[in-house]
Amino acid sequence: MPQNPPAPSAGAPKFLTLSPVIPVVTLADAALACDLAQALLAGGVAVIEVTLRNAQGLKAIAAIARQVPQMLVGAGTVLNGEDLRAAADAGARFAASPGATAQLLAAGQKAPIAYLPAVSDPSEVMCALEHGYRYLKFFPASVAGGTDMLRVLAGPFPNISFCATGGISPQNAGCYLQLPNVCCVGGSWLAPADALARRDWARIQSLAAAAVALRSVPVR
């Protein structure tokens, strides 16, 4: 008799298990990185994705990796193999992309750090599967079909688990997190630009604490 497939979250890479919400942050100033990491940790979030969308990204990753080792720091907006290498060299412990290419999918399997490619439709899931990936980012979640698309993808791909990112908010995160094929979500709302500019660490701590509590919020 065929066995039930394992729960999609079984064997997940550590960075996908630490918080229901992975903060996705683009820092205007890498000097803010360590205080930000401490504020998120104080709120109960021990993972952060710092994007490589500007020159501050790698500096921020290096600073967090060196000075706040309790924070599991990763690189976002990894667009090619060179970004992946630079992220690992800077101390990132995972890397994520807004999409995937054949080159990156292959490089990610050989990389010294965990790599999370993104998909937005079934063909892209099939391509990632061919390369051996079971954990995928679903991006941009809100415009790629949102929770309806994730429910549909659970049919043909019961063993794939998604981190939904892009357009996730405190208002809709619970709807994503209740899906069995969603292991976590990503979002930029935990570190708003205005809070960063004002160094309002108390606000960021409180946003992080609220995000951690989202897992247990009943969805209407």
Closest contact distance (angstroms) between CB of 50 and ligand 3PG is 11
Q: Which stretch binds ligand 3PG (CB under 6 A): 66-74, 126-134, 181-189, 195-203?
A: 181-189
Q: Is 168 in the site for ligand 3PG (CB under 6 A)?
A: yes
- Tell me, yes or no, if 49 is annotated catalytic: yes
Q: Which of 166, 87, 162 is nearest to 129 (CA)?
A: 162
Helix (H) or strand (E) holding 79, with range, is none
Residue type present at position 66:
R
Q: How far apart are CA 9 and CA 160, in angstroms?
A: 9
Using DSSP, state whether 59 is helix, strand or coil. helix
Per CB under 6 A, the segment of 63-71, 105-113, 151-159, 183-191 that binds ligand 3PG is 183-191
Asked if 24 interacts with ligand 3PG (CB under 6 A), we say: yes
The CA R_g of the chain, rounded to the nearest whole Å, is: 17
Member of 38, 97, 172, 188 binding ligand 3PG (CB under 6 A)? 188
Q: Closest by alpha carbon to 125, among 145, 178, 186?
A: 145
Establish whether 110 is a catalytic residue. no
The set of catalytic residues is 49, 137
Give contact residues for ligand 3PG (rule: CB under 6 A).
24, 139, 165-168, 186-188
